[in-house]
Structure 1
């Protein structure tokens, strides 16, 4: 039996419960209703003995999921409905934790673009599959806030300072780099992805992986690890930029230029978030921290301005407030980590 609504397709295929994000015109941007529907499906399938594996994919040719529907967040906050944004994030982060702890194999087909909220739906799964078309990223500093959906957990545990580089620059990872950074596990050629998904309906995911996985294409980041580790080990964003600029490495200078275009407040809060996340024991505690940070960001002008510039008006010319890194104080950063006034997520 197939159950269909406008944004998520739920169906059984043999032993697999299939979840297909179905907003291809928006690269399957994630809404609150979609979060709730996926969570309900996971709850139902956990106790269904006929379902032994859950498989997530996205409709259309462009990607699994481009992230959360930030335009809806923008419009809601502008209309004075900030509580709706908080409710969305609360349910989304709880879903991320649910996926990470799911008792049955959860297979994410990370084909095409996978960003932000799409990472939250996929990279916490037990079996994470990329293809040569995969482009994985956490783009939040470019739209005025910080990596969330457990992104700071993944980034803080990437090799060396790789996660800091990815977070501050918002660089996209191809399949090889996604595996290296800990966002994916296996590479399956796109031409075999449909056949791989069909195998999941009749066989154990480990068997399907053995039959269809291939070595991932070489990434770019392994060769850059030395300068990344040196430059991003600095204690402040300003020092990181100084090291990148002085390194003499072309890619490092390009990284500095990319960072300088991002929200100064978001950059500093992101660096603090990553350093704190390294000391937290697990995903649940990191998600609680991210929830505090994102709720506090509702008071930042850069949140709405970044979404306006990149998504609404698309002029790509955000006017950050403050506009300079040195104008963002330690107190400005630290207020983002105060306990949420609604008690948080209840995960940790």
Structure 2
């Protein structure tokens, strides 16, 4: 939330400091919308571990520098390089990141995350697992991974599978972003604070004001959830246990005049068929799993899906060549066999998240 300083290039990618009794973490790669690299994840995790049992630190506050957002996700260009090279850097990044996600979820002190602006993918992981999650009018939150041949990782299927009805399935498959009203309605955020009020909130926390008191003084009525009027058709269309069933239901709704259902179907058809099938399988089983179990599975699936061609191709099309024209392989959902999905879900690993 702080303005990018002229000397940011000389600063570390994460600014870690004590401010009174508050541990402050500022993601500091504003030109990249604070996209998380391995060094950043390690720095955040180290700070959290150091403060966890420190009696002089009563809470942690996490923000992102720059005006564009908290965090645009993981550094997918680095992941692309690692997968192409066949080295272990991507595996190391994912395992460290997922362990950090679990540490956040289990943190014994208030963990205040300001989900201002763009908060996508890994940005959701570093914020939505926290205990005090703040959104502003600029919040743009989402898990767009099916569009790059991945899946909603960082425990995303755990979070989305616990939302009301099938709205989480809708957002997981389409990859669409949503605003503050929806985030609150889905249980992915706790408080709405206008962007202009965030600096005063952070200052109050840094000067010793109790977290609940400071947030209560800054929070205001949240915007409405624009998806509320769509829940009936979303719940009906996204109840299927295969993506083909979901698309058939959407097509039927579109034939009856539901333009939003038709748009959702069109969006889903642009995504990686393998990613879609894997994501839905994960969503349907995540409600019976703990977060730790989901994160362990996330690591297996990240490695397994990385062995398929779509991850490299999806990142190429979206952020490297930027032609926005990925050539998925398999090219259709009907070509994605249950055996392939199962093999990805059960990928065997030597490294684990909580090693």
- Normalized against structure 1, the TM-score is what? 0.96
Q: 1:141 aligns with which of 121, 127, 146?
A: 146
CA apart distance, 1:6: 2.0
For residue 98 of structure 2, what is the aligned residue in structure 1? 93
8 Å CA contact 2:144, 2:175 repeated in 1: yes
- Residues 186-238 of structure 1: CA deviation (Å, up to 9, x unaligned): 10001101111111121111111210111110121111111011000012101
CA apart distance, 1:80: 2.2
Q: 2:32 aligns with which of 26, 35, 42?
A: 26
8 Å CA contact 2:303, 2:347 repeated in 1: no
Distance in 2, Cα, partners of 1:67 & 1:169: 17
- Residues 309-347 of structure 1: CA deviation (Å, up to 9, x unaligned): 001111100000011111111011111121532152238
Distance in 1, Cα, partners of 2:278 & 2:228: 26
Q: Does 1:198 align with 2:203?
A: yes
8 Å CA contact 2:132, 2:190 repeated in 1: yes
Distance in 2, Cα, partners of 1:346 & 1:193: 34
- Normalized against structure 2, the TM-score is what? 0.94
Distance in 2, Cα, partners of 1:341 & 1:50: 39
- Residues 54-88 of structure 1: CA deviation (Å, up to 9, x unaligned): 0000010000000000100101221221x111111
For residue 344 of structure 1, what is the aligned residue in structure 2? 352
For residue 6 of structure 2, what is the aligned residue in structure 1? none
Q: Which moved more, 1:333-342 or 1:283-292?
A: 333-342
For residue 321 of structure 2, what is the aligned residue in structure 1? 313
Q: Does 1:277 align with 2:286?
A: yes
Distance in 2, Cα, partners of 1:270 & 1:19: 31
For residue 226 of structure 2, what is the aligned residue in structure 1? 220
Structure 2 unaligned blocks of 5 or more: 1-9
Distance in 2, Cα, partners of 1:5 & 1:275: 43
Q: 2:303 aligns with which of 292, 295, 298?
A: 295
CA apart distance, 1:47: 2.5
Q: Does 1:252 align with 2:261?
A: yes
For residue 118 of structure 2, what is the aligned residue in structure 1? 113
Report the 3-state secondary structure (helix = DSSP H, G, I; strand = E; otherwise coil) of the residue aligned with 1:160.
coil
- Residues 69-123 of structure 1: CA deviation (Å, up to 9, x unaligned): 0100101221221x11111100100000000001110000000000000100000
Q: Does 1:326 align with 2:327?
A: no
Q: How many residues align?
A: 342
8 Å CA contact 2:241, 2:284 repeated in 1: no
